[in-house]
DNA sequence: CAAGTCAACAGGAAAG
DNA sequence: CTTTCCTGTTGACTTG
């Protein structure tokens, strides 16, 4: 970028010297923009080692110019790339600015300490905005993953539901068959099938309407547990057990919602997980405040 | 020339 | 009370 010539002398040297704390001038429009009476002429050539600036030389500006500058509206000077680089390095090492460091930086850069303080304030604000953007992107990504996961599970649920329907139809048909033939045939069903029927008919009397109701209830239970699994997989993806075991437990819960499927003796690997802890992974959807719990600020 | 960037400011809150 | 920080705003300046 081309070097920009000196823009505005403002209050001149007197102000530069006495203006340790610029607040008294804040309300005075005449002094706005006169914080650092610096010349940035040749700003591109003075960045190595020494100071980046030249003091405003009041001697070179007559009273006419002084008055002229004094009444000019505010004009802002950009910091040189060297100054910015220096400040950036300093910011990287520590984004807080202790008074000693502020003065030291101001000396080295040829700026007013207040300019350094303001730069740090603005820099922190920019950093925070960037961080917010990043957090938003991360959250969006998590949400998309969660959504895809949920949709898969809905499909899985639909599949399981159709299986349940099919099985219940079959059972109803078998019910009819056995009641028709029971008067003529005295042979019993195999033991395992009998147990299966018993499980499905548990607490269900002869009434088929109640039986359908029970099936619907079981399906709702499956749906609830699937939604819980969606939530838990959001954060604990790695913790998911092998699919066969989950499937087994799903079927168990589908048919035996009141039974602790995780502690049933059929599990042979000795994995006796606490069902409450298994289902306590809920963290909520992104809209929920809980979802921000893992966010680090 | 509109939109974006950035130094600087205003005002309130918090810390000492 | 002073100082610093935060947040929002202003206006000069840059960029496409």
Q: pLDDT tens digits for A196-217?
A: 444 444 444 444 444 445 445 5
Report the pLDDT averaged over residues A175-181: 78
What is the C-alpha to C-alpha distance for residues A106 and A111, in angstroms, rounded to an integer? Answer: 5
User: Which bases on strand B have an atom closer than 7 Å to a protein beta carbon?
Assistant: 6-11
Amino acid A243 CA to nucleotide C6 C1' distance, rounded Å: 50
Confirm if A175 and A169 have CB atoms less than 8 A apart: no
Residue found by looking up tokens 């437990």 in the block:
A249
Amino acid A38 CA to nucleotide C10 C1' distance, rounded Å: 22
Which nucleotide in the DNA or RNA is closest to residue A33, CA to C1'?
Answer: B8
Instruction: Name the band, by pLDDT with cuts 50, 70 and 90, for residue A181.
Output: low
What is the C-alpha to C-alpha distance for residues A52 and A28, in angstroms, rounded to an integer? Answer: 29
Amino acid A114 CA to nucleotide B13 C1' distance, rounded Å: 20
Which of the listed ranges A31-40, A55-64, A216-225 does the model predict with the highest average pLDDT?
A: A216-225
Residue A10 beta carbon within 7 A of nucleic strand B: no
pTM of the entire predicted model: 0.46
**C-alpha torsion sign, points A287, A293, A294, A297:** positive
A125 pLDDT exceeds 60?
yes
Confirm if A40 and A80 have CB atoms less than 8 A apart: yes
Amino acid A291 CA to nucleotide B9 C1' distance, rounded Å: 37
Q: pLDDT tens digits for A245-292?
A: 344 344 334 443 443 434 333 333 333 333 333 332 222 333 333 333
Residue (of A55, A50, A114) closest to A83 by Cα position: A50
Copy the structure tokens of residue A140.
Answer: 């969006």
Residue found by looking up tokens 């949709």 in the block:
A151
A106 pLDDT exceeds 80?
yes
Q: Which position has the higher pLDDT, A44 or A105?
A: A105
Residue A40 beta carbon within 7 A of nucleic strand B: no
In this complex, the residue with its CA at the shortest distance from the C1' of nucleotide B10 is A26
What is the C-alpha to C-alpha distance for residues A251 and A236, in angstroms, rounded to an integer? Answer: 22
Amino acid A237 CA to nucleotide B8 C1' distance, rounded Å: 49
Using left for φ > 0, alpha for ψ between -120 and 50, and beta otherwise, residue A33 falls in left
Confirm if A64 and A38 have CB atoms less than 8 A apart: no
Can you list the positions of beta strands (E) in A41-171? 54-55
Q: Which of residues 54-83 of A have CB within 7 Å of strand B?
A: 76-79
Name the helix (H) or strand (E) containing A180: helix A113-181
Report the pLDDT averaged over residues A47-51: 32
Copy the structure tokens of residue A90.
Answer: 């300093």
Amino acid A139 CA to nucleotide B5 C1' distance, rounded Å: 27
- Which DSSP string do the residues of A17-73 spell out, in sequence order? HH-SS-GGGTT-GGGTT-S--EE-TTGGG--SSS-S-EE--GGGS-HHHHHHHHTSP
pLDDT of A8: 32
The protein side of the strand C contact, defined by CB less than 7 Å from any of its atoms, consists of: A 1, 4, 7, 21, 73-78, 96-97, 99, 102, 117, 120-122, 124-125, 128
What is the residue-averaged pLDDT of chain A? 55
């Amino acid at each position: 970028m081309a070097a920009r010539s000196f823009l505005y002398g403002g209050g001149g040297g007197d102000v530069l010297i006495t203006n340790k704390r610029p607040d008294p001038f804040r309300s005075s429009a005449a002094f706005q923009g006169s914080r650092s009476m610096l010349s940035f002429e040749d700003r591109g050539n003075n960045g190595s080692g020494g100071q980046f600036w030249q003091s405003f030389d009041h001697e070179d500006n007559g009273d006419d110019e002084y008055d002229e500058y004094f009444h000019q509206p505010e004009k802002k000077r950009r910091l040189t790339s060297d100054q910015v680089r220096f400040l950036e390095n300093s910011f990287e090492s520590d984004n807080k600015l202790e008074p000693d460091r502020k003065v030291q930086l101001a000396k080295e850069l040829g700026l007013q300490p207040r300019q350094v303080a303001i730069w740090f304030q603005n820099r922190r604000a920019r950093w925070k905005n960037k961080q917010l953007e990043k957090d938003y992107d991360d959250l969006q990504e998590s949400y998309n993953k969660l959504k895809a996961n949920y949709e898969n599970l809905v499909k899985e649920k639909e599949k399981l539901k159709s299986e349940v329907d099919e099985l219940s139809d079959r059972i109803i048909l078998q019910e009819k068959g056995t009641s028709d033939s029971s008067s003529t045939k005295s042979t019993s069903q195999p033991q395992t099938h009998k147990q299966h029927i018993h499980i499905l008919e548990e607490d269900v009397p002869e009434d088929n309407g109640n039986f359908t109701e029970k099936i619907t209830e079981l399906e709702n239970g499956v749906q609830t547990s699937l939604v819980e699994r969606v939530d838990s997989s959001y954060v604990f993806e790695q913790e998911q057990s092998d699919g066969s075991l989950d499937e087994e437990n799903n079927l168990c819960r589908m048919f035996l919602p009141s039974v602790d499927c995780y502690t049933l003796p059929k599990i042979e690997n000795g994995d006796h997980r606490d069902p409450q802890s298994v289902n306590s992974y809920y963290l909520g959807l992104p809209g929920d405040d809980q979802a921000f719990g893992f966010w680090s600020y």
